[in-house]
Amino acid sequence: MGTQVKHSHLVAQIKAGKINDAVIKALVKNAQQSMIRLERGLFLRISEEGSGFFIFQYIHFGKSRRMTLGTYGKRPDAMPLVDARAALAEARALVNSDKDPLVERHRAQRSDFKTVDDLAQDWLSEISKDLKHPRIPLRVYTQEIKPRLGRLQLNDVSGLDIRDTLDFVKRRKKAPRPTIVNDTLTFLKQLFDHGITLGVINNNPASAFKAKHAGGTEKSRTRNPTIEEWKTIFSVMRTHQVHFSRENYLAVALLLVLGCRKGEIIELRWDEMDLNKKVWFLSKEKSKNGYALDIPLPPLVIEWLEELKTRSNMSEYVFPSRRASKRRGYISDDTLNHALTNLFGKKTGKLNSSTGDVLGKAEIGYFVIHDIRRSTRTIMSKNKVRAEVAEKAINHVKKGVEGIYNRDTFFEERVEAHGVMAELVGGIV
């Protein structure tokens, strides 16, 4: 039987209702390019190369549409007739409910979010575009949320899992850290809200939780070590220099004299300073509050920076990373925090303190790196630095007065203010 005759014979069988896999297999094997109607809405398209494809043809909002259901063949890689009819029934049901099967297929292929971690990676990527410090939610997710929830299926997460995660954070922190627990809850809510926005989940399992379920109401910190305490603190740090490196030691000294924020110091690059002019040009992009500032560098600070330049071994950063890192070239956000916490005898991450509470034994009350800036402000005031100059020296801009502050405002006064700090600190460092 000739090819054309054989093809016509097979098509006639289909028109007569004799549709089965044997007939379809013969049509495909015959390899004549064609589009054959099998039943209402279902077609068999045979390509020039001799492959068969099941096609669904339908009308959606007045427009004719076609969708490939699958390639004809045996399971599991291809689709026999019975599977094509099942796929056809599903597609017809979508059309009957005013949905476009092609659009729904695209949505299903696009949604790769199966676990909490799948959603979290997309959420972290999105917020990194808008946040000035995206490392904070990344750190909280990685350390506090992912260990408990990361592998769970999105639709399986319940309020019990949220409570378990918050309890995990509370137990993990030896010292009371309500801020971290509250941050964990805040980011959990944002994470699952992101899932609702994308349509991959229908409810937020963290939405009903309040601060009372997490770390409670946070009290404003008031700790600000005095200059007398700093004499003891630096002495203890020198005594335990094996556990508190020279680089960490000078970083703390810089924070105290300059009154800058930790993130601004650890990200500092050499090309952001002019050591000859004795100025650090802090850009608005690097400044936590978004305001640029020209920071005067006292001679003592220049000496410390010259030492750090030697120690940085040609790095572009003042405090280069001490471990190989693909993400950044400077030290970790936690480096200074952990070094100080260690001297208070507290556990850092998975490690127990290597020194015990040597600061506590020296009668130094607990404080954190963030408290140093407050200490700078207080010491300046006690040494007769005008309030507006001291506020500008630590780059603290009050609402309502932003317009009068330029990056060089009170520069000469700040030269003197930082000089006062350098003189006081220089005697004890």
Give the per-residue SS3 of 242-283: CCCCHHHHHHHHHHHHHCCCHHHHHCCEHHHEECCCCEEEEC
The class (CATH top level) of 3-110 is alpha beta
Using a pLDDT cut of 70, give the percent of the chain over it: 91
Confidence at residue 324, expressed as pLDDT on a 0 to 100 scale: 67
Residue 38: pLDDT over 90: yes
Q: Which residues of 41-65 are buried (b: 16+ CB within 10 A; e: fewer)?
A: ebbbbbeeeeebbbbbebeeeeeee
Mean pLDDT of 379-401: 87
Report d(CA 303, CA 297) in Å as an integer: 10
Confidence at residue 304, expressed as pLDDT on a 0 to 100 scale: 97
Domain edges within the chain: 3-110, 116-213, 227-426
Q: Would you tell me which CATH number, out of the four given (1.10.150.130, 3.40.50.720, 1.10.3720.10, 1.10.10.10), belongs to the domain 116-213?
A: 1.10.150.130
Q: Comparing 5-19, 109-123, 138-152, 230-244, which segment has the lowest mean pLDDT?
A: 5-19
Res. 175 pLDDT band, cuts 50 70 90: very low
Shortest CA distance to 333 belongs to which of 269, 247, 262, 272? 262
Alpha helices in 61-213 (DSSP H): 81-96, 101-110, 116-127, 135-140, 146-149, 159-172, 178-198
Average pLDDT across the chain, whole number: 89
Length of the chain: 429
Tens digit of each residue's pLDDT (9 = 90 or more) over 176-228? 467 888 899 999 999 999 999 988 898 999 999 988 877 666 566 778 899 99
Q: Using a cut of 0.85, tell me whether the model's pTM lies above it.
A: no
Shortest CA distance to 149 belongs to which of 171, 122, 119? 119
Shortest CA distance to 155 belongs to which of 120, 193, 190, 115? 115
Exposed, middle or buried by CB within 10 Å (0-12, 13-18, 19+), for 428? middle
Mean pLDDT of 380-404: 83
Confidence at residue 245, expressed as pLDDT on a 0 to 100 scale: 96
Q: How far apart are the first and last CA of the chain?
A: 102
| Per-residue DSSP letter, 64 | E
Using a pLDDT cut of 90, give the percent of the chain over it: 63
Residue 403: pLDDT over 60: no
Instruction: Tell me if domain 3-110 and domain 116-213 are identical in fold.
Output: no
Q: Comparing 33-37, 125-129, 325-329, which segment has the lowest mean pLDDT?
A: 325-329
Q: Comparing 163-177, 268-282, 301-315, 392-406, which segment has the lowest mean pLDDT?
A: 392-406
More confident residue, 256 or 106: 256
| Tokens standing for residue 264 | 């601004």
Which homologous superfamily does the CATH classification assign to the domain defined by 227-426?
Answer: Intergrase catalytic core (1.10.443.10)
Confidence at residue 417, expressed as pLDDT on a 0 to 100 scale: 96
Mean pLDDT of 48-60: 91
Tens digit of each residue's pLDDT (9 = 90 or more) over 81-113? 999 999 999 999 999 999 999 888 877 655 678
Confidence at residue 374, expressed as pLDDT on a 0 to 100 scale: 94
